[in-house]
Structure 1
Amino acid sequence: MDTRQPIALAYPFRGRCQVRNSPANRVPSHGTDLYATTYAIDFVPVDTRSRSAPYTLRSVLWPEPPEVFVGFGWPVLAPVAGTVVAVHDGESDHDAYRGLPSVRYALTQRERAAAGPTALTGNSVVIEAAPGVLVALCHLRRGSILVALGGRVAVGDAVGACGNSGNSTEPHVHLQAMDHLDPERAKALPISFDGRLPRNGDIVAA
């Protein structure tokens, strides 16, 4: 069991989200320690019916454009104050995959992992809150990033928009904390929000 004090963070969205892959349910939360994802959490914007997009026959059989998802383009907010130490942009927002397409997409994940961290994170921003405390926000929308390398951000500042770049089946934000900028060398840091470990399910961030 990890006895380190969790890094206190704010939610990266305002509005209703679904928390997935929460460490309250499973550690490692993403099924691996690889790339410091031990405590990583996905925030998926949803509507009042807890749906990220209408579920239709197309959802079952074919990929869907990211624009049909309620969270695509939602502002992504800095969950911690600090200095921007990494920015990556230019990755396309690809189709979303639910139903049968998600199975086919999962079978290609090994190829993306072999291509390196950028193929997994997509467009991303990393904020250094303190020495050895870095928070990454991944899968951002192409061309949406609002911060620059070396810039300072406060909690709640907009850093970009929710997208579907990298290793993502639908628009969401992947958030993790780590102790080194290089994810292949980094170790994951435990995190909390409003003093709590989020559980899988809906949250409403004001």
Structure 2
Amino acid sequence: MADPTRFFPMEWPILILLITQILLPAFFLLWLWLPSPADRLGWLTRVVYGAAYFAFVTVIGRWDFLGTALTFLLPVAFVAATGLSYLRVRRRRWNASSSVLRTHGFTAAMAVFFLALTARALSGYGYQETAVDLAFPFGAGTYYVGQGGGTASINHHHGSQSQRFALDIVALNGFGMRAAGLMPENLSDYAIYDREVKSPCNGIAISTHDGIDDNRISETNTEAPAGNHVILACGTARILLAHFRKGSIVVADGAIVTKGETLGRVGNSGNSSEPHLHMHAYLGGTRDYNEGQGVPMTFDGRFLVRGSTVTVP
């Protein structure tokens, strides 16, 4: 539920996204060609630096904004550019510099830096705790995990004890984007908006809350962070599903729910700057979703992280 965009105007995240996922990849593609490297070692350090950055941005990027196809197209373009650019330097000397460290040290250091950041993000692809296995909470469609995993690099919820393994889930349209545009103002332009949310387990609805208005895009309601929400008791675990559309929740406190039963519809209520479903599991708490110990969730045995896509037939 925590939304870092509340600290900045919405233009800043979009600007950062365009720089990191469009402009910098374009720079690394162009840099293989211009200026032409003096030797093969110079070419190689550029390739390693570029590859390290592409690995980093592929793992931590939010590709649902620009289209998930770029996750594959950009690395393929980099590999093709690498092969073609080598044809220009293959007959050049291995090293034309009198000081390798002075000439190539910074580039090599930056490559190591981005490889370290990538390794840190990838460490969130696993978990050591016992996971709660659930059913995916949506029907037919393709869905994307915007926040998820076991490290803050890929999941901004991870710093919260109860939300350590929380997920933010959006839907993808036919272009592999979460919305019709980068930041459209109409809620209905977001593919996830008004989708039915289904119970991920057999259990009891121990707490429900409805009646909170949807936010306008980029605005949030920090006084009621979960907005309209449902808390399910699924065995020993508690599952919070948050940010429902006002008036859409169809289960009452104390209701017995079955896996796949409709709970409500996705909205933009609470501490949410755009439509999505927030979901986390915790142990030791009851109706207070900020208490308890967050635990991993798996869906048919799959642990979802930022960038994961789920297709439901």
TM-score bracket, normalised by the shorter chain, equals 0.7 to 0.9
Distance 1:159 1:183 in 2: 18
Match of 2:269 in 1: 165
RMSD, aligned CA: 2.2
SS for the counterpart of 2:246 is coil
Distance in 2 separating the partners of 1:25 and 1:184: 19
Measure, in 2, the Cα distance between the counterparts of 1:142 and 1:32: 28
Alignment partners' CA distance in 2, 1:79 and 1:72 = 19
Q: Is the 8 A contact 1:92 1:142 kept in 2?
A: yes
Instruction: Give, as a single letter, the amino acid of the residue that structure 2 aligns with 1:82.
Output: G
Letter of the 1:90 counterpart: G
* Residue of structure 2 equivalent to 1:75: 196
Q: 1:184 & 1:78 partners in 2: Cα distance? A: 21
Counterpart residue number, 2:155: 29
Larger Rg: 2
Distance in 1 between residues matched to 2:291 and 2:177, nearest whole Å: 36
**Aligned partner (choices 16, 21, 36) of residue 142 of structure 2:** 16
Contact 1:25 1:199 in 2 (8 A): no
Change beyond 3 A, Cα 1:196–1:124: same
Equivalent positions of 1:1-206 (< 5 A) are 3-14=128-139, 15-23=141-149, 26=152, 29-34=155-160, 36-55=162-181, 59=183, 64-97=185-218, 112=222, 115=223, 119-131=224-236, 133-179=237-283, 180-181=285-286, 182-201=288-307, 202-206=309-313
Do the aligned residues in 2 keep the contact of 1:27 with 1:38 (CA within 8 Å)? no
Deviation of 1:4 after TM superposition, in Å, equals 2.4
Distance in structure 1 (CA, Å) of the matches to 2:177 and 2:153: 25
8 Å contact kept, 1:28–1:39: no
8 Å CA contact 1:163, 1:172 repeated in 2: yes
Q: Deviations over 1:111-168 (max 9, x none)?
A: 82xx3xxx2111000110113x111100000000010111111111100001011111
User: How far 1:75 moved relative to its partner?
Assistant: 0.3
List alignment gaps of at least 5 residues for structure 2. 1-125
Structure 2 CA distance for aligned equivalents of residues 205 and 6 of structure 1: 22
The percent of aligned pairs where both chains have the same amino acid is 29
Please state which structure has a larger fraction of its residues in helix. Answer: 2
Q: How many residues align?
A: 184
Cα distance in 2, alignment partners of residues 25 and 200 from structure 1: 10
Please tell me the residue identity of whatever aligns with 1:23. Answer: G
Q: Which runs of 4+ in 1 moved over 4 A?
A: 24-28
TM-score for both structures, normalised by structure 2: 0.54
Q: C-alpha offsets along residues 49-87 of structure 1, whole Å, 9 cap, x if unaligned?
A: 12122116xx3xxx7131222221110011111000010
Q: Distance in 2 between matches of 1:27 and 1:53?
A: 24
**Does the 8 Å CA contact 1:39/1:190 hold for their aligned counterparts?**
yes
Q: Give the drift of 1:48.
A: 2.1
Aligned equivalents of 2:233, 2:263: Cα separation in 1: 14
Cα distance change of structure 1 residues 27 and 82 upon mapping to structure 2, 3 Å threshold: farther
